[in-house]
Amino acid sequence: MWIADKWKEYEVLDTSDGEKLEKWGDYLLIRPDPQVIWNTEKKHPGWKKPNAHYHRSQKGGGEWEFFNLPQQWDLHYHELSFHLKPFSFKHTGLFPEQAVNWDWFSEKIRRADRPVKVLNLFAYTGGATIAAASAGAAVTHVDASKGMVTWAKENAAASGLSEAPIRWLVDDCVKFAEREIRRGSRYDAIIMDPPSYGRGPRGEVWKIEEAIHPLIRLCAGLLSDTPLFFLLNSYTTGLQPAVLTYLLSIELKHLGGRVESSEIGLPVKQNGLILPCGASGRWEA
Average of per-residue pLDDT across 217-241: 95
Q: β-pairing, 138-143 with 117-121?
A: parallel
pLDDT confidence bin for 216, thresholds 50/70/90: very high
Give the span between the Cα atoms of 161 and 154, in whole angstroms: 10
**Which CATH number do you get for residue 145?**
3.40.50.150
Q: pLDDT value at position 198?
A: 77
Q: pLDDT value at position 201?
A: 63
Q: Does residue 28 sit in the same domain as residue 150?
A: no
In the chain, the percentage of residues whose pLDDT exceeds 70 is 99
Q: pLDDT value at position 61?
A: 84
Phi/psi at 226 (nearest 5 deg)? -130, 65
Q: What's the Cα-to-Cα distance from 173 to each of 19, 55, 68, 204, rounded to whole Å?
A: 32, 32, 38, 10
Q: Does residue 155 sit in the same domain as residue 242?
A: yes
What is the tens place of the pLDDT at every residue in 248-266? 999 999 999 999 999 999 9
pLDDT confidence bin for 127, thresholds 50/70/90: very high
**Full domain range(s) for residue 20:** 2-84
Pick the range with the lowest mean pLDDT from 150-154, 193-197, 267-271.
193-197
- Where do the H-state alpha helices sit in the chain? 99-112, 127-134, 146-158, 173-183, 208-220, 241-252
Average of per-residue pLDDT across 25-38: 96
Give the span between the Cα atoms of 2 and 268, in whole angstroms: 14
Answer for the pair 212, 279: CB distance below 8 angstroms, yes or no.
Answer: no
What is the tens place of the pLDDT at every residue in 49-100? 999 999 998 777 899 999 999 999 999 999 999 999 998 789 999 999 999 9
Q: Is residue 147 part of a domain?
A: yes
Q: Is residue 89 part of a domain?
A: no
Q: E strands within the chain?
A: 2-3, 10-16, 19-24, 27-32, 52-56, 62-66, 73-77, 80-84, 117-121, 138-143, 166-170, 189-192, 197-199, 205-207, 229-234, 258-267, 274-284
Q: pLDDT value at position 230?
A: 98
Q: Does residue 116 sit in the same domain as residue 188?
A: yes
What is the tens place of the pLDDT at every residue in 152-182? 999 999 999 999 999 999 999 999 999 999 9
Of 2, 42, 47, 41, which Cα lies nearest the Cα of 23?
Answer: 47
Q: Does residue 12 sit in the same domain as residue 80?
A: yes
Q: Does residue 244 sit in the same domain as residue 190?
A: yes
User: CB-based burial of residue 158 (10 Å sphere; 0-12 exposed, 13-18 middle, 19+ buried)?
Assistant: middle
Q: Does residue 136 sit in the same domain as residue 268?
A: yes
- Where do the H-state alpha helices sit in 116-191? 127-134, 146-158, 173-183
Number of domains in the chain: 2
Q: pLDDT value at position 223?
A: 98
User: At residue 200, does pLDDT exceed 70?
Assistant: no
What is the tens place of the pLDDT at every residue in 37-50? 999 999 999 999 99
Domain boundary among the residues 31, 54, 84 is at 84
